[in-house]
Structures are given as C-alpha cells and as structure tokens.
C-alpha cells in the first residue's frame, strides 16, 4: 500500500464537461491554403538595368471571405496583395497575389465569425503570402520585396467604420417613399 494520493484523471475538454453557461473557446482549423492567382510583370527590364536608388512601392491589401455550404462552418478566405514599384514615372515591376485558405470555424458564436474571418484567418495566411511575394520578386531580378507585418485589426476597424458610414449615408440620403 502506498501513502501517495491517487492521481485524478484530467477532465477531457472534448467530452463536453464544461460547466453550464460557460462556452468553449472558438477554434480555427486550416483545411487548405494555396496561391489562387499570381501575376508578376517586369514591363521594362532594359531601362531598369543599373538603375540607382530604391523604387517607390505602393501596396494594396484586401481581404474577402465567402461561406461554404450552409451549416458546415467552412469558409474560403482570400488575402489579396498588390504592389507596384516605380522610379519616378517608370514602372519597375507589378505583382499581384491572391493567397487563399479554406477554414473551418469550430464553436464560434455568430458575433465572432466575421472578426475571425477578416482578422485571424488572414493573419494565418500572411506569412505564406509574404514569402511568395519575396520569392517571386527575387526570381524577377529584383531584391526580395519584404512586406511589413499588417495590422489586420486596424484594417477590420476601418472596413467596419466605412460600412457604417455608407449605411448611414444610404439611409439619410434616401428620398422618401411615396
């Protein structure tokens, strides 16, 4: 006989042993990720040879999410990155990438779905999209374009504020119904 206490087995979180009223933390499962569309243009390679100085780079970012069949909690999320490099008025290169993923949201409340899709999912895709952009620009004959980290929370807030402003303008500027 041992004087050691008998260990109590840990409760299984999958067994539904959460106290009533307490909700499970939502989870994101990455089911697939891939380059959906990629375009790289080097429109004037001869004029870019030996050019001095760093080009001015304009970057565009967009996130789009589409639901799968109803009831399965599957979503397709696209992270769109577009960059154009210019020296003065001359285009050095243009790159556009749509990097996508298929995600399953588990135990997500309806109010959590949109932020998860437009903040967390692109945050998971970004490092891979960044690597693709860097490799393609390097293979195109330029130094790798290393995109700084993106504040997806800030982008989401801007998007929400813009949508609210458009909704307010749409309701206040509508002519009265006759």
Res 75 pLDDT > 50: yes
Residue recorded with tokens 């989401």: 156
Q: What is the pLDDT of residues 89-105, one digit of tens each?
A: 889 999 999 999 999 99
Least Cα distance to 42 among 92, 87, 83 occurs for 92
Tell me the domain boundaries of the chain.
Answer: 24-159
- Rounded to the nearest 5°, which phi and psi values hold at 164? -65, -40
**Per-residue pLDDT tens for 25-34?**
899 999 999 9
| The two structure tokens encoding residue 130 | 């960044």
Distance CA 123, CA 110 (A): 20
Average pLDDT, the chain: 85
- Is CATH 3.30.1490.100 what the domain over 24-159 is classified as, yes or no? no
- Say whether pLDDT at 3 is over 80: no
Tell me the pLDDT tens digit for each residue of 122-173.
999 999 999 999 999 999 989 999 999 999 999 999 989 998 999 888 765 5
Confidence at residue 45, expressed as pLDDT on a 0 to 100 scale = 79
Closest CA to 156 of 129, 121, 128: 121
In degrees and rounded to multiples of 5, residue 148 shows phi and psi of -65, 155
Q: What b/e readout covers 82-109, taking b as 16+ CB neighbours within 10 angstroms?
A: bbbbeeeeebbbbbbbbbbbbbebeebe
Give start and end residues of each alpha helix (H) in the chain.
45-48, 110-115, 121-139, 152-172
State the average pLDDT over residues 10-21: 48
Instruction: Name residue 78's beta-bridge partners.
Output: 64, 100
Q: How confident is the model at residue 54 (pLDDT cuts 50, 70, 90)?
A: confident
């Amino acid at each position: 006989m041992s004087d050691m206490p008998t260990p109590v087995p840990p409760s299984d979180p999958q067994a539904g042993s959460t106290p009533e009223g307490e909700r499970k933390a939502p989870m994101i499962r990455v089911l697939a990720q891939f380059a959906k569309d990629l375009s790289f243009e080097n429109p004037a390679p001869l004029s870019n040879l030996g050019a001095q100085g760093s080009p001015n780079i304009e970057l565009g970012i967009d996130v789009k999410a589409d639901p799968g069949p109803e009831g399965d909690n599957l979503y397709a999320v696209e992270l769109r990155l577009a960059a154009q490099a210019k020296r003065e008025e001359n285009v050095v290169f243009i790159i556009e990438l749509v990097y996508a993923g298929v995600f399953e949201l588990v135990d997500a409340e309806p109010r959590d779905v949109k932020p998860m899709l437009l903040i967390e999912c692109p945050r998971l895709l970004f490092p891979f999209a960044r690597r693709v952009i860097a490799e393609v620009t390097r293979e195109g004959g330029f130094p790798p374009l290393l995109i700084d980290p993106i504040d997806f929370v800030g982008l989401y807030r801007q998007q929400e504020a813009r949508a609210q402003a458009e909704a307010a303008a749409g309701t206040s500027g509508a002519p009265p119904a006759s």
